[in-house]
Amino acid sequence: MRILLVASAFNSLTQRVHAELRERGHEVGIELALGDDHLRTRVTEFEPELILAPMLTTAIPEDIWTAHTVLIVHPGPKGDRGPSSLDWAIHEGAWAWGVTVLQAVADMDAGPIWATEPFAVAACGKSELYRNEVADAAVRAVLTAVNRFATGRFAPEPLDYDRPDVHGRLRPYHEQHYRRIDWTADDTATVLRKLRAADSQPGVLDELYGREFFLHGGFGEDRLRGRPGAVLATRDGAICRATVDGAVWLPQLRSRRIPGGPATYKLPATIALGRDLPDVPEAPVTPAEAATRDTWSELRYREENEVGYLEFAFGGGAMSTEQCRRLLAAYRHACTRPVDVLVLGPARDFFSNGIHLNVIEASDDPATESWHNINAMNDLVEAILTTTDKLVVAALAGNAAAGGVMLALAADEVWCRESVVLNPHYRLMGLHGSEYWTYTLPRRVGAAEADRLIREALPVGARAAANLGLVDRALPGDTEEFWSRVRRDAENLSAASELADRLVAKKRRRAGDEADRPLSAYRASELAQMRRNFYHPGEPYHALRRDFVHKVRPAATPPHLTVT
Ligand code: COA
């Protein structure tokens, strides 16, 4: 079928739907919702049989939805309407929620229902929920709706609030006054719900040291206590604030834009506060200790049945110079442990999206900070590539992009959850790319395929990635099922009689590859190009990065997306 995806941005869910539909043989076009006339022209040119909107914040014009069937993905159960569905669900502590596919009509979210899917609400931020449970339910609902449409016989169900299975209702925009935290009254559970309902956008507006900030993130703390609202400690760029009955960690802040002033963006909390942050103590925690505590940490390390697990979780998957260095130190420490198999990866969300473009943007010298950041990433990747006495598995429960994909490819095996979307390319940020991708990517998929992936700059679903050899396995199920399978398979690897032979073969292969062309040569040639990307005045990287960090909408659908 010819299906046109219309979306406010080519975001994770739209990418996932794109990958899933293409895998099923549909011809899929993409049009960003950047104006009714653009959309009309594209619809005329593309001649879709069905229009599908996985993530749309604006209305489709009437002449389009009267002439075509337009299906909208709404992140709420039957009857739920309004622009802040997930915010309300989390704010009110809902434990079960849903995704509904509705036909576009004049009233927003009021059209006939084509499919609906329930999901359990995990205790996490809104965008993490969106990229996990919501995305999985949305894909199930979309595939059902598309199949129903294809039969030509399905009659969608009109929205009827008298039906017993219609529990939702119309709710207003979730304004800041619902989100406001009263630090002298709200308990930790309430503070966490408010923070999570606002994460990652728009954050909770609050005041710190006389300045207004949007607070981002929201994680519990088991030990630190103090005067409600006070900043008690810092850790790896985050701040810890006391509540009436505990404390919470806030990894990132965005200062409120002053009218007429420059646009603002999220930064690690201690960077955003800068000199306003008084002398508060650091509260360090080792990865091994963090794994046994209920506290915020980007790094956790534990061992189970002879397997080491190094878990990392960086907000938005972005890894600054410091974050890369901390992960490298934790990796080196894990390498000293008496385990033969080491599993790397976050519990649920992004695996990695490469260098930290916001931290780079905020630095006094973005070119030099970019240089430090890519070198820190390379040091980490090199440490993984040169580990020859252990088998290293990259476990991707969530998506990865750019250098984050290449970080995974440094491992001996790459295991992905089936829902994962990979973006193995750098071109959209105006970068040649590094992280030894010129060694690892062709090694996995061959030179021609590597060239296509880098040039086309399109997302690849996990199953397609496994077919290409880009990853080794695409495992079904939710994140819990994924991790229980990863644990079982990692334990089997560690117990297997062939393990010793595999390690010998790995060592031999690395030595052979090194003799053919040393890793240092790959690094030097990649970095020569990156140096040019960072320092040459004619290069597009700085402008593209600025637009990304400031979330500048493109004027038209980017050409690489209009190819079907
Ligand atoms: N640096 C800083 N922030 C990053 C980031 C990076 N490398 N990659 C993602 N983020 C942030 C986004 O700004 C966004 O922030 P928000 O929560 O405040 O809105 C959040 O992480 C999620 O990203 P988003 O773009 O909304 O998710 P998506 O699933 O729609 O798209 C990507 C994912 C990876 C395709 C897209 O974020 C991207 O292109 N990132 C840049 C990748 C890159 O070029 N890295 C540098 C080269 S190594």
Nearest to 149 by CA among 109, 112, 98: 112
Mean pLDDT within 422-437:
98
Q: Quick check: 142 pLDDT over 90?
A: yes
CA 214 to CA 434: how far, in whole Å? 34
Q: Could you count the other beta carbons within 10 Å of the beta carbon of residue 171?
A: 17
Q: Taking the model in full, what pTM does it have?
A: 0.97
Cis amide leading into 202 (omega within 30):
yes
Exposed, middle or buried, 110 (CB in 10 Å: 0-12/13-18/19+)?
middle
* β-strand pairing of 421-423 with 400-401: parallel
The DSSP letter of residue 501 is H
250 and 269 in contact (C-beta within 8 Å)? yes
pLDDT in tens, 3-20: 999 999 999 999 999 999
Strand locations in 340-389 (E): 341-344
Average pLDDT over residues 305-319: 97
For ligand 1, whether the C-beta of 253 sits within 6 Å is no
Let me know: does 1 contact 49? Beta carbons within 8 Å. yes
Can you tell me the distance from the alpha carbon of 299 to that of 313, in angstroms, rounded to the nearest whole number? 7
Q: Does the CB atom of residue 18 touch ligand 1 within 6 A?
A: no
Segment 174-191, tens digit of pLDDT:
999 999 999 999 999 999
What percentage of the chain carries pLDDT values higher than 70? 100
Quick: pLDDT tens for 276-308: 999 999 999 999 999 999 999 999 999 999 999
Of 414, 413, 379, 388, whose CA–CA distance to 400 is shortest? Answer: 414
Neighbours of 304 (CB within 10 A): 12
Distance 131 CA to ligand 1 centre (A): 13
Mean of the pLDDT values across residues 314-318?
A: 97
**Mean pLDDT, residues 518-545:** 98
The residue whose CB lies within 8 Å of the most ligand 1 atoms, and thus the one to mutate among 30, 321, 353, 534, is 353
Cβ–Cβ under 8 Å, residues 348 and 128: yes
Residues 327 and 297 sit within 8 Å (Cβ to Cβ) = no
| Listed residue (52, 112, 127, 105) closest to 79, CA to CA | 112
Average pLDDT over residues 421-428: 98
Residue 261 has a pLDDT of 86
Q: What is the pLDDT of residues 456-502, one digit of tens each?
A: 999 999 999 999 999 999 999 999 999 999 999 999 999 999 999 99
Whole-number Å distance between alpha carbons of 330 and 404: 17
Please state, as a whole number, how many other Cβ atoms lie within 10 Å of the Cβ of residue 556: 12
The atom number, within ligand 1, closest to the CA of 216 reads 18
Q: How far, in Å, CA of 88 to CA of 178, rounded? A: 10
As given in the structure block, the two tokens for residue 482 are 């994924």
> For ligand 1, what atom is nearest to the CA of residue 401?
34
Q: In this structure, are strands 460-461 and 473-475 parallel, antiparallel, or unpaired?
A: unpaired
Is the CB of 264 inside a 6 Å radius of any atom of ligand 1?
Answer: no
**Cβ of 305: how many Cβ atoms within 10 Å?**
12
- pLDDT at res. 564: 59
Q: What is the DSSP string of 30-88?
A: EEE-S-HHHHHHHHHHH--SEEEESS-SSPPPHHHHHHS-EEEEESS-TT-BSTTHHHH
Q: Atom 34 in ligand 1: which residue has the minimum CA distance?
A: 401
What pLDDT sits at residue 146? 98
Tally of CA atoms within 13 A in the half-sphere of 439 that contains its CB: 26
Q: Of the candidates 77, 116, 78, which has an alpha carbon nearest to the alpha carbon of residue 86?
A: 77
Q: How far apart (Å, rounded) are the C-alpha atoms in residues 31 and 139? A: 19
Q: What tokens were used for 514?
A: 């090194």
Distance 302 CA to ligand 1 centre (A): 28
Whole-number average pLDDT of the chain: 97
Give the H/E segment covering residue 152: none
Q: What is the DSSP letter of 256?
A: P
Ligand 1 atom nearest to 358, measured from its CA: 2
Closest among 380, 414, 378 to 394, alpha carbons compared? 414
- Span 193-222, mean pLDDT? 96
Q: Is 234 helix (H, G, I), strand (E, B) or coil?
A: strand
Decide if 18 contacts 30 (C-beta within 8 A).
yes
Torsion of the alpha carbons at 131, 74, 193 and 207, rounded to the nearest 10? 90
Identify the pLDDT of residue 492.
97
Q: Cβ(320) to ligand 1 under 6 A?
A: no
Output the pLDDT for position 68. 98
Q: Whose CA is nearest to atom 16 of ligand 1?
A: 200
Ligand 1 centroid–CA 316 distance in Å is: 6
Ligand 1 site, residue 111, Cβ cutoff 6 A: no
pLDDT in tens, 324-381: 999 999 999 999 999 999 999 999 999 999 999 999 999 999 999 999 999 999 999 9
Centre of ligand 1 to C-alpha 449, Å, is 24
pLDDT value, residue 283: 98
* Percent of all residues in the chain with a pLDDT value above 90, rounded to a whole number: 98
Q: For 29-40, what is the mean pLDDT?
A: 96
